[in-house]
């Protein structure tokens, strides 16, 4: 005490606190130990230093010349990352800023800057629930300010008690952020109106009609059923629109997404409705999406309906057992010297060969395509292992049977094919392996051992397809014996085939490139290939573990 007083530099507020602690010592029943602890704390150098920093920030905050120009530098940094990300592979400057802004200490600095700029350094004490009834100790009163943002809570009538209870708290919503409302809390009053015997709809009306602060009187649920935030990320394999979903318990709370979106699942507590955020979305409020179980049921139901109406179903290559709902994904970081194979999928004739050829031509020491196997006999001038690996028909049939070929076919009585092993050996030798197999090979390729990056080469609409191909005297690939242009029927066949590929495999593609103008498509391919090499990308979670 004397030491504190003697030091003129000591914060007067701390000294006052210490003095009142001494006074309280006489009247309060607390132990010597507790007083000792508090007294030591109030005299500690650490606390004193903290108080000084705090005071400094506050006094600087009052000074006009210290006003922050912005308080959302973190958000701006994220936006800049979005903009420069795709250009990082093209320009050194973009790459530099892209790497810099991702550094944890830069992000930490920006975050601290924003906290100070937003004056987010005042101590926040937990709200003390007001106790209204002397004998009703368990009632809590919660006040939330009504804004344009939804409250982020849903209510229902409890089946057993018939009372209105909180059914769900949306992660990150106003109710959740308040930390004061929990699932299972019983609603007694809203803005002084007793809701006993009322329906959830009546309560909603009261809420809609109220302005400003909304006051809830709640009986807390026994034990808090808090929402545990999960780390699960999934890729959606279907489109979802809550506005057309008749079953969603609360339309406003729905989260819409499209096939291929990556979603962060924050809660799977409810068997039918998960809570999720779109990955990278800055809106912190989670939305409702159908759970895997619910979606599987819906798809099965739809299929039975469809089977009833249409008998003919093209299921040559469609695995009807597979129900595409959500696939758990994780980020795969680029591995130095170990490149993911790049696979171009598309309808025959769309231009995969052309794109592959151009890519390899940019750097023949980097991009390689596997040498195929054949059962035909070697011709004069051919070298085993150059144009083809020459093997006997028996050997090839045996290996095809054993599932060692990612694709194979017969042409003029001879077998041709590409083995999974030759892809692996290119990868292990440090090359970027590039493939353009038939789309049926996808199943065999999309495995953790190969980790391919799948690019879908999509044809443009009929008129543009015809115009671009005719303008370049494109050679039809449909007729092996004749070199001629594509016919209208062949263009139509290409479009039909692309629809089918999208239907079957659309959810698996990492990237879609429309091959309309060839040089534009090629540039997009170069960008995508660069991205695979330099950026962490989402892949099935099982590939990363």
Ligand X SMILES: Nc1ncnc2c1ncn2[C@@H]1O[C@H](COP(=O)(O)OP(=O)(O)OP(=O)(O)O)[C@@H](O)[C@H]1O
Report the residue number, 157 or 497, with the smaller CB distance to ligand X: 497
Q: Is 261 in the site for ligand X (CB under 6 A)?
A: no
Please state, in angstroms and rounded to a whole number, the distance separating the CA atoms of residues 392 and 352. 29
205 near 243, Cβ under 8 Å? no
304-307's contacts with Cβ under 8 Å and 24+ in sequence apart are: none
Report the residue number, 351 or 417, with the smaller CB distance to ligand X: 351
Least separation in angstroms between residue 346's CB and ligand X is: 6
Nearest to 181 by CA among 193, 190, 168: 168
Find the part of the chain contacting ligand X (CB under 6 A) among 217-225, 254-262, 365-373, 465-473: 465-473
Least separation in angstroms between residue 521's CB and ligand X is: 6
Report the residue number, 173 or 347, with the smaller CB distance to ligand X: 347
Distances from the Cα of 298 to the Cα of 115, 242, 248, 344, 500, angstroms? 45, 14, 13, 32, 22
Find the part of the chain contacting ligand X (CB under 6 A) among 72-80, 177-185, 242-250, 515-523: 515-523
Report the residue number, 216 or 522, with the smaller CB distance to ligand X: 522
Q: How many CB atoms lie within 10 A of CB 281?
A: 15
Report the residue number, 34 or 410, with the smaller CB distance to ligand X: 410
Query: Contacts with ligand X in 394-453 (CB under 6 A)?
Result: 436
Least separation in angstroms between residue 452's CB and ligand X is: 18
The DSSP annotation for 376-431 comes to: SPPPTT--BTTTBEE--HHHHHHHHHTT-EEEEEEETTEEEEEEHHHHHHHHHTT-
The DSSP annotation for 470-532 comes to: HHTTPPPSS-SS---PPPHHHHHHHHHHHHHHHHHHGGG-SEEEE-SSHHHHHHHHHHHHHHH
Report the residue number, 151 or 457, with the smaller CB distance to ligand X: 457
Point out which residues pair with 250 in neighbouring strands.
Answer: none
Q: Is 477 in the site for ligand X (CB under 6 A)?
A: yes
Among 48, 475, 500, 507, binds ligand X (CB under 6 A): 475
Report the residue number, 159 or 489, with the smaller CB distance to ligand X: 489
Report the residue number, 98 or 439, with the smaller CB distance to ligand X: 439
Q: Name every residue whose Cβ is closer than 8 Å to that of residue 371 and which is 6 or more positions away in sequence.
A: 385, 386, 387, 388, 389, 422
- Which position's Cβ is nearest ligand X? 351
Give the total of residues touching ligand X (CB under 6 A): 18
Token digits for 279?
């990955």
Query: Contacts with ligand X in 3-42 (CB under 6 A)?
Result: none
Report the residue number, 129 or 348, with the smaller CB distance to ligand X: 348
Report the residue number, 80 or 474, with the smaller CB distance to ligand X: 474
Least separation in angstroms between residue 484's CB and ligand X is: 11
Contact string 63-102 vs ligand X (x = CB under 6 A): ----------------------------------------
Least separation in angstroms between residue 473's CB and ligand X is: 8
Find the part of the chain contacting ligand X (CB under 6 A) among 161-169, 305-313, 409-417, 470-478: 470-478
64-70's contacts with Cβ under 8 Å and 24+ in sequence apart are: 68/113, 68/116, 68/117, 70/117
Please state, in angstroms and rounded to a whole number, the distance separating the CA atoms of residues 491 and 477. 11
Q: Is 474 in the site for ligand X (CB under 6 A)?
A: yes
Least separation in angstroms between residue 368's CB and ligand X is: 17
Q: Is 472 in the site for ligand X (CB under 6 A)?
A: yes
Report the residue number, 260 or 346, with the smaller CB distance to ligand X: 346
261 near 508, Cβ under 8 Å? no
Greatest Cα pair distance in the chain: 109
Q: Is 518 in the site for ligand X (CB under 6 A)?
A: yes
Report the residue number, 522 or 538, with the smaller CB distance to ligand X: 522
Token digits for 108?
């930490």
Query: Contacts with ligand X in 198-257 (CB under 6 A)?
Result: none
285 near 170, Cβ under 8 Å? yes
Please state, in angstroms and rounded to a whole number, the distance separating the CA atoms of residues 175 and 495. 50
Contact string 329-358 vs ligand X (x = CB under 6 A): -----------------x-xxxxxxx----
Q: How many CB atoms lie within 10 A of CB 396?
A: 23
280 near 81, Cβ under 8 Å? no
Least separation in angstroms between residue 354's CB and ligand X is: 3
Distances from the Cα of 99 to the Cα of 86, 87, 335, 397, angstroms? 13, 12, 17, 50
Please state, in angstroms and rounded to a whole number, the distance separating the CA atoms of residues 294 and 526. 40
Find the part of the chain contacting ligand X (CB under 6 A) among 27-35, 179-187, 218-226, 513-521: 513-521
Least separation in angstroms between residue 522's CB and ligand X is: 9
Q: Is 468 in the site for ligand X (CB under 6 A)?
A: yes
480 burial class (0-12, 13-18, 19+ CB within 10 angstroms)? exposed
Report the residue number, 5 or 472, with the smaller CB distance to ligand X: 472
Least separation in angstroms between residue 438's CB and ligand X is: 8
Point out which residues pair with 538 in neighbouring strands.
Answer: 331
Least separation in angstroms between residue 466's CB and ligand X is: 10
185 near 220, Cβ under 8 Å? yes
Report the residue number, 31 or 483, with the smaller CB distance to ligand X: 483
Q: Is 469 in the site for ligand X (CB under 6 A)?
A: yes
Least separation in angstroms between residue 328's CB and ligand X is: 32
Q: Which residues bind ligand X (CB under 6 A)?
A: 346, 348-354, 436, 468-469, 472, 474-475, 477, 515, 518, 521
């Amino acid at each position: 005490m004397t030491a504190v007083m003697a030091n003129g530099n000591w914060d007067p507020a701390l000294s006052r606190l210490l003095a009142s602690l001494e006074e309280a010592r006489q009247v309060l029943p607390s132990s010597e130990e507790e007083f000792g602890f508090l007294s030591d704390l109030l005299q500690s150098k650490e606390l004193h230093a903290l108080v000084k920093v705090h005071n400094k920030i506050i006094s600087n905050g009052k000074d006009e010349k210290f006003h922050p120009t912005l308080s959302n530098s973190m958000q701006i940094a994220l936006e800049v990352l979005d903009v420069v990300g795709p250009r990082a592979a093209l320009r050194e400057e973009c790459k530099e800023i892209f790497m810099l802004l991702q550094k944890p200490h830069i992000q930490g600095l920006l975050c601290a800057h924003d906290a100070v700029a937003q004056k987010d350094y005042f101590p926040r004490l937990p709200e003390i629930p007001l106790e209204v009834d002397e004998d009703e100790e368990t009632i809590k009163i919660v006040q939330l300010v009504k804004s344009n943002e939804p409250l982020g809570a849903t209510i229902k009538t409890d089946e057993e008690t018939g009372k209105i209870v909180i059914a769900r708290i949306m992660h990150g919503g106003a109710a959740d952020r308040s930390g004061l409302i929990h699932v299972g809390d019983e609603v007694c009053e809203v803005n002084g109106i007793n809701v006993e015997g009322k329906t959830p709809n009546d309560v909603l009306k009261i809420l809609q009609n109220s302005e400003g602060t909304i006051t809830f009187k709640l009986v807390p649920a026994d034990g808090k059923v808090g929402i545990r935030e999960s780390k699960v990320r999934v890729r959606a394999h279907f489109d979802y629109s809550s506005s057309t979903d008749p079953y969603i318990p609360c339309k406003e709370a729905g989260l819409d997404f499209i096939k291929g979106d990556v979603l962060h699942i924050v809660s799977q507590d409810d068997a039918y409705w998960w809570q999720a955020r779109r990955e990278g979305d800055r809106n912190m409020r989670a939305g409702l999406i159908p759970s895997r179980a619910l979606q599987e049921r819906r798809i099965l139901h739809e299929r039975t309906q469809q089977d009833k109406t249409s008998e003919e179903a093209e299921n040559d290559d469609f695995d009807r057992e597979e129900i595409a709902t959500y696939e758990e994904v994780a980020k795969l970081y680029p591995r130095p010297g170990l490149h993911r194979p790049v696979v171009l999928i598309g309808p025959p004739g769309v231009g995969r060969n052309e794109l592959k050829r151009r890519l390899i031509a940019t750097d023949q020491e980097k991009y390689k395509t596997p040498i195929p196997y054949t059962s035909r006999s070697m011709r004069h001038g051919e070298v085993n292992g150059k144009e083809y690996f020459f093997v006997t028909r028996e050997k090839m049939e045996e290996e095809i049977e054993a599932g060692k070929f990612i694709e194979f076919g017969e042409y003029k009585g001879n077998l041709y094919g590409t083995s999974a092993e030759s892809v692996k050996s290119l990868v292990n030798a440090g090359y970027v392996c590039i493939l353009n197999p038939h789309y049926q090979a996808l199943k065999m390729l999309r495995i953790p051992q190969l980790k391919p990056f799948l690019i879908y080469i999509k044809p443009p609409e009929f008129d543009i397809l015809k115009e671009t191909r005719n303008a370049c005297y494109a050679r039809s690939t449909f007729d092996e014996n004749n070199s001629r242009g594509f016919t209208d029927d062949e263009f139509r066949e290409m479009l039909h085939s692309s629809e089918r590929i999208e239907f079957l495999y659309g959810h698996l593609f990492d990237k879609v490139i429309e091959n309309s103008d060839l040089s534009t498509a090629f540039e997009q391919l170069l960008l995508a290939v660069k991205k695979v090499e330099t950026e962490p990308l989402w892949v099935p979670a099982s590939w990363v573990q």
